């Protein structure tokens, strides 16, 4: 459903009703502008330097000596399998750096950065084989073994990220070198995989190639890439199971020791049954999100309601039973993914940054047919909380996993041995403009509120849409329409489900806020140049309680304000955050700017605190602990661990 | 410090001041009498039948064909190492069955049972090699490989359990066959291990041989077994590390893949440093308890205060930072043992039955030098809760792990693939009489209150001590002394720390209950035949709260009465036990008999219940849940899962 607005239609019957804008169509200021600046001015350089320091280019650059072989699945000092020092998916990490850098180049020209990216692209181009194959691991480290282990070795996943990078870099710079290389590689992949004679009926253990081929198809107008993406989506989970066949060909027990043990029932890779039969969100969280994004793309391009039906079941399954209040997903480290319904532990939450980034991808694709706040609200929730938390405020440090409670041991990384998250959150932030609007032939949907200026076309008119807002700190949004001529179209404004008593006026006249099932206020009228829509989305702090089956949140309450989930930090409240109790209904709230964080808003709430001072050596006792009045100071969750290290807590005990 | 009263002293300076009685000296009635009857009438036969069904005797019986080899560390279908189908420690399980049966024979003559045990002993005797070696695994399954992997293969552990069985069976039946065999085996072990020329400086990865050799020494009067036990205790953790040396001799990477990975730092086997330097309770919980029991035995036999000093540090470490309120220990399944301080998860608690049995062993040995309720209170806590829970009320089913919260998925086993717990709890219950008293030259200490009649000698007089009590259901205890002549001695009565306002009278005259630091009321006087001591130990239900650092119990309260920890079960309270809230101070309690469980006492407490009915598909919402008055019915934790299966909860939410 994501379509580049200027690209040719490649589908026979394109059912994509609402298309996002291209990144350069939206100039983003305010809250997101600062984050984009951090990425453009700092993060992308850091990413490049840390890839360099990690030795990634030693592997990729064909002009350098082949580095010492490292076993992909070696054991660490404790005998635990340690995959994430493997180099086999480094192509993907470097590709995401190129993609983030491409978006950063829209923000400001940066010849030095562009030269670095050109240099990396030269490496890949020099690496590519005559037949189009392009993967640094299998060309340089394990030659002769290509396409022998799709289950574990991320080969098509790497190809997908390079395709995304190629599309982004072409759009940003007009340079075709990587795009041409990836078209040749895509054609090689198309010859290699399929159900025809002599082809391998395989697909990747880590989904990504599917959505990437759709992007490549949209950028190049070549329908064959769309067909290939459709093949990969539809072949998944067919019998006989390709990963069994492939393992047998390697002479391995198909479901034996690790890593095969992860694949005992193929849920880990969402290949346990064909995709249209999948009804529960299972397995590795990032893989699931990328698959569903690809499914949504194919559903949109082919108008395939059977895929959409499956996606809606999966959406309700995820958001109704398996999602943290932060939009984090995938609670377990052992499979980097999903476990049981309502199993959402806080202090051990994995909730990988990449998984929330992937949820944003999926949610945005679910908005292609019509505005629907079921999707846009979760997009916003995952964006501001589960995803953005992965990037420090200054753009220099990263979270990989995102617990909702820390006893002081969890901190941002300079880098990670599996460096997937840093470039993933960077490319999302740098491309945030594309998530704000959906544009159809006869209307504009405002999915996100963000200070920005967008230039687009609707109903044949040129429209400049200026959002002036201090969102997410304040719910006042002023939309000014610049039109080259009076034009009738529908302006659809998301009224977030968290917002009570939203007010909307057009030209100073109040409009009844009736949203129907979509959750969008649709205003269809003849719009004129200079007209102003004003919105007031009240942002009182609200308590959030979890379903009683979420045992880890029993008797606890989270605090949210607008799209932001808040947390307690030791820096504001001292140690022992589990001694803090909020009243059953939140009491009088005070907001105040957070001195260290520019315009960010803290919340102060009356609370009680249990006396912990009387405890000494005993482990158990009968005394009822004393309680005293206190004020609990909350800060946005995405900002945690940007100050002095210490405890953090999202789900705070509630008085009864 | 445990010494069979009629056995010869084997130490030069025996500092064991308070000795337990032999099992047949104490006729136990009441609460424990019923449990002993269940073991004697049902459990021991079940144990034998299930060992038979599991194929154990196929391995042990030298007249049968050698069974098909099973790999000791094979992987299961999920690729997870599955040690507990190994047969290599089956000798130990069968040994514990013999030991439990021996104690059962005191309860009632049972020629059929005795014949079965004689049959097993014939097997072992027939198996024993010329040089005294006796281990069914290494003789029948892996001949030629004995003593090559002490770290993993439980060889000396099996020997230890057979020695305990031999001592118990000799005491109960007077038959020497197994005892003689085990003396020959102990002598073989003594020749094999040590620091002398040609000896292996090794010790077992799973402690047990240490305490078993002390029992063997006490039974036979042979000091050399005591010396060998002392060697095993003191050699542990010395450098160069034996498990490294041994692994190298096998040609293995000493700390490579599993199972070696468990041994990365040797804490798993408590061999990371020599025992006197150990200050933190670490590793596999049962191993730790057995080691500390052996250390306490050696400390007592040799009057070694350096060992006692280490044990006291370890005791405070365990009971002050690492013990469940049930006396369960070892929270983690992954190492069957200890993790971090204050890490006591409830629903995933491992808290193996055997570990609490081992804690009873250790605690009883800490009572050897003087009565001290620090030890006796924990002995009682672990006995009534962590250990006894492992046996169903009728003696037919078993718990291996003992969580403090179940969502309905946790149930008693008919049998377990690692069947260590069933015979372990059976032998403890059947020998409970020996834990009730400690007797010194000049006094009797009453450690446990239990309806019983004990015959013993103190200060040269014959004493019949009759306890009449409904304990643990009621705190009234009437002690009647039968003496063959007036005798001066000290009667030490434990006043449990949980008991407020205990009353004690002698011959109807109140005695001030002043206990000093020991927690025992010491009454030294001239006692006469027929004198009566009456005690009233009030048993109001009391709330128990955990140290604030136990994050899993934050905002929760447990309910205890007397020595028993209570729990909520779905059978009494419906599903959704986490919706129940107790008031901050427990309100008016009502007790009532539990119809299904004879004289057992339930507790009813006023409580609140959160309304869960309003929830539907949403995962989060802002509404404050409604509360209504209810009555929460608690039953003793040890009785849980004896009725309809369902949820169970020890730590209940507390109102604030």
pLDDT digits (tens, 9 = 90+) for A385-430: 999 999 999 999 999 999 999 999 999 998 777 788 999 999 999 9
Best B260, B374, B555 residue to mutate vs chain A (most A CBs within 10 Å): B555
Which of A79, A545, A576 lies closest to B264 in CB terms?
Answer: A79
Of the CA atoms within 13 Å of residue A478, those in its CB half-sphere come to: 9
Closest-CA residue of B relative to A584 is: B624
Choose the closest CB to A656 out of B78, B576, B655: B655
Mean pLDDT, range B63-89, rounded to an integer:
55
pLDDT of residue A73: 41
Q: Bridge partners of A621?
A: B545
Facing residue for B79 by CB, picked from A260, A548, A620: A260
Quote the mean pLDDT of chain A. 92
Chain B hits for A260, Cβ within 8 Å: 79
Cis link prior to B240 (omega < 30° from 0)? yes
Among A389, A383, A381, smallest CA distance to A406 is for A389
Reported as type and span, the H/E element at residue A255 is none
Nearest CA to B135 among B176, B100, B85, B185? B185
Residue in B304, B278, B286 with CA at minimum distance from that of residue B226: B304
Residue A636 distance to chain B (closest CA, Å):
18
The more confidently predicted of residues A582 and A624 is A582
Cβ-count burial of A197 within 10 angstroms (0-12 exposed, 13-18 middle, 19+ buried)?
exposed
pLDDT band at B55 (very low <50, low <70, confident <90, very high): confident
- The residue among B300, B312, B311 whose CA lies nearest residue B275 is B311
- The pLDDT tens digits for A19-46 are 899 999 999 999 999 999 999 999 999 9
Q: Is B316 helix (H, G, I), strand (E, B) or coil?
A: helix
- Tokens 């290699």, located at residue: A192
Decide: A228 and A186 in contact? Cβ < 8 Å: yes
Known catalytic residue: A421? no
- Test mutation, A382, A620, A623, A651, chain B, max B CBs within 10 A: A620
Q: Does A608 touch chain B (CB under 8 A)?
A: yes
The answer to whether B407 contacts chain A (CB < 8 Å) is yes
Active site residues of B: 336, 420
Task: Report percent pLDDT > 90 for chain A.
Answer: 83
With cut-offs at 50, 70 and 90, classify the pLDDT of residue A65: confident
Q: How far apart are the first and last CA of chain B?
A: 47
Q: Is A578's CB within 8 Å of B257's CB?
A: no
- Looking up tokens 């209170």 gives B377
Q: What are the backbone angles phi and psi of residue A47, rounded to the nearest 5°? A: -60, -45
Torsion, Cα A105 A110 A112 A116, to 10 degrees, reads 0
CB contacts of A610 in chain B (<8 Å) are 548, 656
**Residue A558: closest CA among chain B residues belongs to which residue?**
B622
Question: What are the distances in angstroms from CA B504 to CA A51, B266, B373, B513, B631?
Answer: 77, 49, 17, 7, 34
| Averaged pLDDT, B630-643 | 97
- What is the longest distance spanned by two Cα atoms in chain A? 78
| CB contacts, 8 Å: B624 with chain A | 543, 545, 584-585
Q: DSSP state, B9?
A: P
Q: Give ∠ CA B170-B175-B179 in degrees, rounded to 5.
A: 55
The answer to whether B578 contacts A542, with C-beta atoms less than 8 Å apart, is no
> How close A608 comes to chain B (CA, Å)?
9
Q: Average pLDDT in the B44-70 region?
A: 87
Residue A5 pLDDT class (50, 70, 90 cuts): very low
To the nearest whole Å, the CA of A243 is away from the closest chain B CA by: 16
Nearest to B95 by CA among B148, B27, B164: B164
* pLDDT > 90? residue B68: no
* Range 459-488 of A in CB contact (< 8 A) with B: none
pLDDT of residue A259: 58
pLDDT at B338 over 80: yes
pLDDT category, B1, cuts 50, 70, 90? very low
Backbone torsion region of residue B446, taken as left when φ is above 0, otherwise alpha when ψ lies between -120 and 50, otherwise beta = beta
Dihedrals phi, psi of A169, to nearest 5 degrees: -70, -35
Interchain contact, B656 vs A407, CB within 8 Å: no
Q: Do B653 and A550 touch (CB under 8 A)?
A: no
What are the chain B neighbours of A622 within 8 Å (beta carbons)? Answer: 542-545
- The pLDDT value given to residue B75: 40
Q: Which of residues 253-292 of B touch A (CB under 8 A)?
A: 255-258, 260-262, 264
Contact present, B399 and B421 (Cβ < 8 Å)? yes
d(CA B234, CA B294) in angstroms, rounded, equals: 11
8 Å CB contact of A551 and B622: no
Higher pLDDT, A87 or B638: B638
**How many residues would you count in chain A?**
656
Which among A74, A317, A555 is the top mutation candidate for probing chain B, defined by the most B β-carbons within 10 Å of its own β-carbon?
Answer: A555
What digits encode the pLDDT tens for the residues B401-420? 999 999 999 999 987 777 88
Indicate if the alpha-carbon torsion angle A363, A364, A370, A376 is positive or negative: positive
The torsion angles phi and psi of B415, rounded to 5 degrees, stand at: -160, 170
What's the gap between Cα A29 and its chain centre?
21
Per-residue pLDDT reduced to its tens digit, A252-287 = 765 555 555 677 789 999 999 999 999 999 999 999
Nearest CB among A547, A581, A623 relative to B619 is that of A547
**Mind giving me the DSSP string for A219-236?**
HH--HHHHHHHHHHHHHT
Q: Output Rg (C-alpha) for chain B, integer angstroms.
A: 25
Chain A residue closest in CA terms to B259: A79
pLDDT band at B573 (very low <50, low <70, confident <90, very high): very high
Q: Which of A341, A548, A609, A625 to mutate to test binding with chain B, by most B CBs within 10 Å of its CB?
A: A548
Tokens of A142: 């394990």
Q: Considering only alpha carbons, which residue of chain A is nearest residue B555?
A: A653
Run of H or E residues at A483: strand A476-483
Cβ–Cβ gap A264/B547 under 8 Å: no
State the alpha helices, DSSP H only, in A303-420. 305-321, 353-366, 373-381
Q: Which listed residue (A204, A420, A499, A567) is catalytic?
A: A420
SS3 A147: coil
Between A and B, how many residue pairs show a Cβ–Cβ distance under 8 A? 135
* B500 Cβ neighbours under 8 A, 6+ residues apart: B538, B540
B78, B265, B559: which to substitute to probe chain A, counting the most A Cβ within 10 Å? B78
Spatial CA neighbour of B466 closest among B449, B456, B480: B480
Q: Residue B3: is its pLDDT beyond 80?
A: no
Output the pTM of the full model.
0.89
Q: Let me know how many helices (H) and strands (E) chain B has, helices first.
A: 17, 24
The ipTM is 0.90
Asked whether A263 and A253 are in contact (CB, 8 A), the reply is: no
- Chain B contact set for A262 (CB, 8 A): 79
Instruction: Say whether A80 and B261 touch across the interface (CB within 8 A).
Output: yes
CB-count exposure of residue B592 (10 Å: 0-12, 13-18, 19+)? exposed
Beta bridge partners of A527: A487
Percentage of chain B modeled with pLDDT above 90: 82
Largest Cα–Cα distance in chain B? 78
> How distant is the Cα of A563 from the closest Cα of chain B, in angstroms?
14
Q: B608 and A656: CB-CB below 8 Å?
A: yes
pLDDT at A178 over 70: yes
Task: For residues A303 and A368, give the distance between their C-alpha atoms in angstroms, rounded to a whole number.
Answer: 11
Q: What is the mean pLDDT of chain B?
A: 92
Q: Tally helices (H) and strands (E) across chain A.
A: 17, 24
Once rounded to an integer, what is the mean pLDDT over residues A329-334?
94
Q: Which two tokens stand for residue B471?
A: 């304990």
Report pLDDT for A8: 44
pLDDT of A416? 74
Q: Which of B619, B622, B625 sits opposite A321 (nearest CB)?
A: B619
Q: Which of B551, B578, B584 comes nearest A578 by C-beta?
A: B551
Express each pLDDT in B138-195 by its tens digit.
Answer: 999 889 999 999 998 999 999 999 999 999 999 999 999 999 999 999 999 999 999 9
Q: Which residues from chain B sit within 8 angstroms of residue A558, using beta carbons? A: 620
Q: What is the CA radius of gyration of chain A?
A: 25
Give the helix, strand, coil percentages of chain A, each rounded to 5. 40, 20, 40
Partner A contacted by B656 (CB < 8 A):
yes
pLDDT in tens, A111-127: 999 999 999 999 999 99
For B491-522, how does the pLDDT look when each residue is reduced to its tens digit (9 = 90+)?
Answer: 999 999 999 999 999 999 999 999 989 999 99
Q: For Cα atoms A391, A346, B648, give the angle at the middle one, nearest 5 degrees.
A: 170
Give the per-residue pLDDT at A251.
84
Is A175 exposed, middle or buried, given 0-12, 13-18 or 19+ CB atoms closer than 10 A? middle
The reply to whether residue A320 touches residue B620, judged by beta carbons under 8 angstroms, is: no
In this predicted structure, what is the pLDDT of residue A159? Answer: 98
Question: Does residue B326 contact residue B565 with C-beta atoms inside 8 Å?
Answer: yes
> What tens digit of pLDDT does each residue of A424-482 get?
999 999 999 999 999 999 999 999 999 999 999 999 999 999 999 999 999 999 999 99
Contact map slice: A 529-548 vs B, CB within 8 A: 542-548
């Amino acid at each position: 459903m994501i379509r580049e607005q200027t690209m040719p239609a490649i589908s026979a019957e394109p059912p994509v009703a609402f298309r996002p804008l291209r990144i350069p169509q939206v100039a983003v200021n305010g809250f997101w502008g600062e984050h984009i600046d951090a990425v453009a001015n700092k993060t992308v350089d850091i990413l490049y330097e840390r890839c360099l320091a990690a030795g990634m280019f030693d592997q990729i650059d064909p002009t350098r000596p082949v580095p010492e072989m490292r076993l992909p699945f070696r054991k660490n000092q404790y005998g635990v399998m340690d995959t994430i020092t493997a180099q086999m998916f480094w192509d993907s990490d470097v590709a995401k750096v190129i993609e983030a850098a491409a978006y950063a180049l829209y923000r400001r020209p940066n010849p030095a950065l562009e030269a670095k990216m050109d240099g990396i692209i030269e490496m890949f181009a020099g690496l590519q084989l005559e037949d189009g194959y392009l993967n640094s691991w299998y060309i340089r480290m394990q030659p002769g073994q290509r396409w022998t282990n799709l289950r574990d070795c991320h080969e098509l996943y790497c190809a997908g990220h390079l395709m995304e990078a190629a599309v982004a870099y072409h759009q940003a710079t007009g340079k075709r070198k990587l795009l041409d290389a990836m078209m040749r590689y895509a054609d090689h992949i198309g010859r290699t995989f399929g159900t025809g004679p002599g082809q391998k009926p395989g697909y990747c253990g880590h989904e990504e190639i599917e959505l990437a081929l759709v992007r490549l198809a949209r950028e190049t107008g070549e329908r064959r890439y769309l067909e290939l993406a459709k093949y990969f989506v539809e072949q998944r989970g067919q019998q006989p199971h390709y990963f069994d066949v492939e393992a047998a060909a390697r002479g391995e027990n198909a479901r034996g020791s690790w890593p095969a043990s992860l694949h005992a029932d193929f849920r880990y890779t969402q290949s346990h049954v064909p995709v249209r039969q999948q009804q529960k969100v299972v397995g590795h969280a990032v893989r699931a999100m990328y698959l569903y994004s690809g499914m949504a793309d194919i559903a949109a391009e082919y108008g395939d309601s059977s895929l959409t039906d499956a996606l809606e079941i999966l959406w309700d399954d995820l958001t109704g039973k398996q999602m943290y209040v932060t939009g984090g997903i995938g609670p377990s480290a052992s499979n980097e993914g999903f476990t049981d319904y309502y199993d959402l532990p806080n202090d051990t939450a994995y909730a990988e940054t990449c998984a929330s980034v992937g949820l944003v991808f999926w949610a945005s694709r679910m908005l292609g047919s019509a505005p629907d706040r079921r999707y846009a609200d979760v997009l916003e929730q995952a964006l501001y909380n589960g995803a953005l938390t992965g990037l420090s405020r200054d753009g220099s440090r990263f979270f990989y996993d995102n617990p909702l409670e820390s006893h002081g041991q969890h901190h941002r990384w300079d880098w990670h041995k599996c460096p997937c998250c840093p470039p993933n959150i960077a490319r999302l932030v740098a491309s945030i403009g594309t998530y704000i609007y959906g544009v159809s032939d006869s209307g504009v949907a405002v999915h996100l509120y963000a200070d920005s200026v967008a230039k687009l076309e609707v109903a044949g008119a040129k429209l400049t849409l200026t959002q002036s807002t201090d969102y997410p700190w304040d719910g006042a949004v002023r939309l000014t329409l610049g039109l080259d001529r009076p034009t009738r179209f529908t302006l659809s404004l998301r009224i977030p489900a968290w917002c009570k008593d939203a007010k909307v006026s057009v030209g100073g006249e109040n409009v009844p806020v009736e949203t129907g099932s979509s959750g969008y206020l649709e205003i269809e009228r003849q719009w004129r140049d200079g007209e102003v829509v004003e919105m007031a989305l009240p942002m009182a702090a609200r308590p959030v309680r979890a379903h009683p089956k979420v045992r880890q949140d029993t008797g606890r309450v989270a605090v949210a304000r607008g799209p932001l989930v808040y947390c307690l930090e030791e820096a504001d409240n001292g140690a022992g955050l589990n001694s803090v109790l909020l009243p059953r209904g939140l009491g009088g709230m005070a907001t105040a700017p957070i001195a260290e964080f520019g315009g960010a808003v803290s919340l102060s709430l009356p609370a009680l605190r249990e006396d912990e001072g009387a405890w000494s050596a005993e482990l158990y006792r009968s005394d009822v602990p004393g309680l005293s009045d206190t004020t609990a100071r909350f800060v946005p969750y995405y900002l945690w661990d940007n100050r002095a290290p210490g405890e953090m807590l999202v789900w705070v005990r509630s008085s009864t």
